[in-house]
Amino acid sequence: MVPPSTGTSVSNGVYVPGGFTNGDVKPVLSTTPLADFLIIRLISLASQKFISDIANDALQYCKMKGTASGSSRNKTKDKKYTLTMEDLSPALSEYGVNVKKPYYFT
């Protein structure tokens, strides 16, 4: 696995490596190996954008609730947020993914 460089990373951030999607994606019309590589790169980028948008929306829900862990007297430090199902469920429902807790967790 090659570490991300400026040519393969998105804004020097986290990206979905081609190895994840390479095994799952079998292009229907394989014209050239370059086209296959570009399709895999496109699917990786789209999946990264999808997951990033969901995580960002869940963070906004968490901030709206005001549930940050940490002391209230140290307001200069960054607050640490915890991703919970209460924040993730409405964020996922905006994208058409319905998530419900199993009956044994309620």
**pLDDT confidence tier of residue 80, bands split at 50, 70 and 90:** confident
For 3-50, the pLDDT digits (tens) are: 445 455 455 555 666 565 566 556 555 566 677 778 888 888 999 999
- The model's pTM is 0.61
- Locate 29 and state its tokens: 């019309």
